Structure 1
């Protein structure tokens, strides 16, 4: 719901409202953007790779690489990407832990393909449509949380290839599942001999059997031995000692219960972490911090945002470019992190689970005697080792809070939030589970809700905004800037989800708070009144709404500016709508024309201008000027397609109204096809419970829907 309230005219006694050539080859640097780098110790699985390539190339099937954590699914996907890189126009790695992350990644791809959309959901669908029609490409949906996360977001094209990786085996409906197994003991032993100690066959066999052939554990072993100069026999002794200690800890704390292969990875990772910690303590603290983020690629730029919530060593390292890069390099060298072709970082999901499990199992009270003794010997222990999960989650929240403090003001900031969204979702999930309601958690939840609202994900936005509003009022107070801002977004989300009574109550409360804070004539108050009038119109209280519009039409503050002009324009548009509803068509048409003429050139593709043009066109239909209405609606449709995309709700409603005009002007065949497309697009965008969709679908001949 925009400040320009969406108002309806009566046409055939129906009332509604409207919500506001091939694949171009991307630049070479972006052609395989975010694809992680292949582990330099990767061992080829030729038979498996050949089977996957045959399905992708010959059978034109999507392939899902499924299996246990740590078996090398993502590495196999990277290897397949490497196979296609020399001959493929576009390769893109898409984090797929949840549906919102998939949409964000596809929307980012849209810009590379020359698709300019302000709405990310629309941009994602336009990417799928474009890739389904043309192009040579490979899309890799990594770490798909479930089939639902990618359903409807997979392009289908014989010249394209879709690869998924997931722990979930239930992808039969969307792709051909290929189960990735661990290495055989012999293959794993050969790997250890090649990487670490040729000729140590017996020791390699013992270690390979102990870790169950898991590639992730084998990588930890090879890394540790190379970093410390340890032989396989010596490592085996360390492994057995550390594993016994871990099992004793697991018996004391059932939260770390795990499978035999899981305990093997915990043991090898524990040794690798210890080796890295002897070189750079900040690198270990960095891993603990990142374990509370998503498995999706982590932009290195995120780590430039230091803040006081971080441990001292890590905060000092991140504050300087050289020390930050040095700590990251140590973590990469120790195989604790992996990189991507775009310079991002990735922490394996199993590793993150292990790190958080270890943190959650620790006592919140440090052994002060050990710290004092270490200090007297001149050796400083890692004080953050005793941090609770809540404290590490607060550190991750603080990092993302600092990185998103500027909000969503332009395209670059929207793209930045799109990259960070999977991490925002993940850390907020941890925060909710840990009962954290701090300022950073509230602000981050509010920003995520506002971002989702702006891109049209109303139901998802509602979830985050409801939580943020409750916490903001409880923790920060009703009159805090955060609480007022969240309430404004929440009222808008409630309205878009057809919860008009709740939207009205919240809007009225928030207007009262704004009046107390800023005075009765502040622009924020007037915007709130316009939003309230739209709600009153939707509920049928026309007199109250008209009173608000008349007040806003005369709004001229002491310092008249573009904001006050926008408020007056919105009021005039809504008054014109009400005149049309009362049958005063000439007066309404004159006011619409007056508003359109007053709109500055730089506003011609804004919601205000498009609303005026669209409503004027519907009125032209009503007074019998069908041809002029058809021409105007075609122009508006082209503008909305360019701005929002083919399947945005606003585009769908304009297409519906064009179908009406075509029907009345004597073009029934084109009208039926146009109307069917409009109804289908609106249903996909907002579902069948939305009131506007019901109006559009009520008649096989299109029914007009006002802005």
Structure 2
């Protein structure tokens, strides 16, 4: 490491190769005129946006970019909102969510909604975009009913400020359908996606990426409504179009491969589902990285379908390994971490350890209640699973 009175230079750590003490940063800013300060803030914001990769495979780089964006917002927020340089703040928030820090992403977009409304006004497109992101990450953090309500309010404002055929209005309709489905209205989500798809075909065309996303959602909710074979067939058709339009390595194409595998399994081809996920996993690691939330989801599904194909012990071992990575990447209280704990308990029970499964579900239930509340659907499911494995273990459920 090279050091002088102003900076540290550590070439061995490329994402933090040059670090300047906060006092030096402050002293440097204090020498600038207001115009120089604003111009420097714009330059820094644009540099960060340019450096930010579309797919975050390098977690250390992503952390460094978010840290720089946070510092920039703290020292030059007003300057950013006097140009389009505040785009970096939206990117930083999405980066938090994509890294699995969904609670932090929710808090980030809550602040961004307030500051954007203050600087730009409540009806400005970027304020509406901040509200969109806030609703999305609120849902990802587990408040699915709140997300659905927020998107319903946002849609009303989109229709008032923009129009019914505006791309952002159509995207908001997609998200509203999704979170209504997540909140339990599966049939309503499927019907809403079907109506939206007709409008997107009219306005945007069959090969538009947003049209393909809606086809993905429509297939999913049809499957959730009970038509697993129809969902698998729809995903097979969609995958061919995504490969043609987007390419094999585009993240939405990889997601469609996972969805096709999932619904093939739900339609009865458990071995085929496991094989498809096994083929998908190395491609996701190569394109998105080992710690990407979608890669972790594929590992989850691969373990599940291996278990469903008869390898309960292998599934339990795979979920145990996955849980360690979920905790490291997402944190102990993330909904996906809690789901992995549920899956691990289930397959331990299927592998013969009913008492261990019951004990794991008992611990999980306490955390579900603390994190998601007593009436959350996943909390209620955990109660049922606990009762089941207690019976299997020969215990008498408590009152």
**Is the TM value for this pair above 0.5?**
yes
Higher-RCO chain (CA-CA 8 Å, sequence separation at least 6) = 1
Consecutive unaligned residues of structure 2, counting only runs of 5 or more, are 349-377, 379-399
Residue 646 of structure 1 deviates from its aligned partner by 2.2
Deviations 1:40-90 (A, max 9, x none): xxxxxxxxxxxxxxxxxxxxxxxxxxxxxx6x9x87xx7xx8xxxxxxxxx
Question: In the alignment, does 2:12 pair up with 1:92?
Answer: yes
Q: Which residue matches 1:573?
A: 216
**Cα contact 2:232–2:260 (8 A) shared by 1:** yes
| Distance across 2 between alignment mates of 1:628 and 1:694 | 27
Alignment of 1:271-350 (within 5 A): 297=18, 347-350=20-23
Equivalent residue, structure 1, for 2:24: 351
**Structure holding more helix per residue:** 2
Counterpart CA distance in 1 for 2:88 and 2:265 is: 47
Q: Which runs of 5+ in 1 are unaligned?
A: 1-34, 40-69, 82-90, 95-104, 106-141, 143-295, 298-345, 360-383
> Against the structure 1 CA distance between its residues 93 and 521, is the aligned structure 2 distance closer, same or farther, given a 3 Å change threshold?
same
Partner residue in 1 for 2:207:
562
Q: How far apart are residue 404 of structure 1 and its match?
A: 5.2
Deviation by residue 1:502-546 (Cα, 9 ceiling, x = unmatched): 433432333233333442123222211111111111111223312
The structural deviation recorded for 1:583 is 3.3
Change (3 A) 1:702 1:633: farther
1:653, 1:405 → 2: CA distance?
A: 28
d(CA) in 1 for partners of 2:12 and 2:162?
48
Q: What does residue 73 of structure 2 align with?
A: 428
In structure 2, the partner of 1:592 is: 235
**Partner of residue 626 from structure 1, selected from 243, 262, 270:** 270
Q: Deviations over 1:71-114 (max 9, x none)?
A: x9x87xx7xx8xxxxxxxxx6136xxxxxxxxxx2xxxxxxxxx
SS at match of 1:628: helix
Conserved? CA contact 1:573–1:592, under 8 Å: yes
What is aligned with 1:485?
129
- Given the superposition, is the C-alpha separation of residues 651 and 508 from structure 1 closer, same or farther in structure 2, using an over 3 Å criterion? same
8 A contact 1:579–1:588 mirrored in 2: yes
Distance between the aligned counterparts of 1:616 and 1:429, measured in 2?
44
Preserved contact between residue 303 and residue 315 of structure 2 (Cα < 8 Å): yes
The CA distance in 1 between the partners of 2:66 and 2:265, in whole Å, is 44
Larger Rg belongs to: 1
Change in 2 beyond 3 A, CA 1:501/1:586: closer
**Contact 2:158/2:169, CA 8 A, preserved across alignment:** yes
Distance 1:646 1:585, change over 3 A: same
Distance 1:591 1:423, change over 3 A: closer
CA gap of 1:352–1:556, structure 2 versus 1, over 3 A, is closer
The root-mean-square deviation of aligned C-alpha atoms, in Å, is 3.8
Q: Report the CA distance shift for 1:652/1:453 in structure 2 as closer, same or farther (over 3 A).
A: closer
Deviation at 1:647, TM superposition (A): 2.8
Rounded Cα–Cα distance in structure 2 between residues aligned with 1:624 and 1:505: 35
Q: Spell out the pairing of 1:599-610 with structure 2 (5 A cutoff).
A: 599-601=242-244, 602-610=246-254
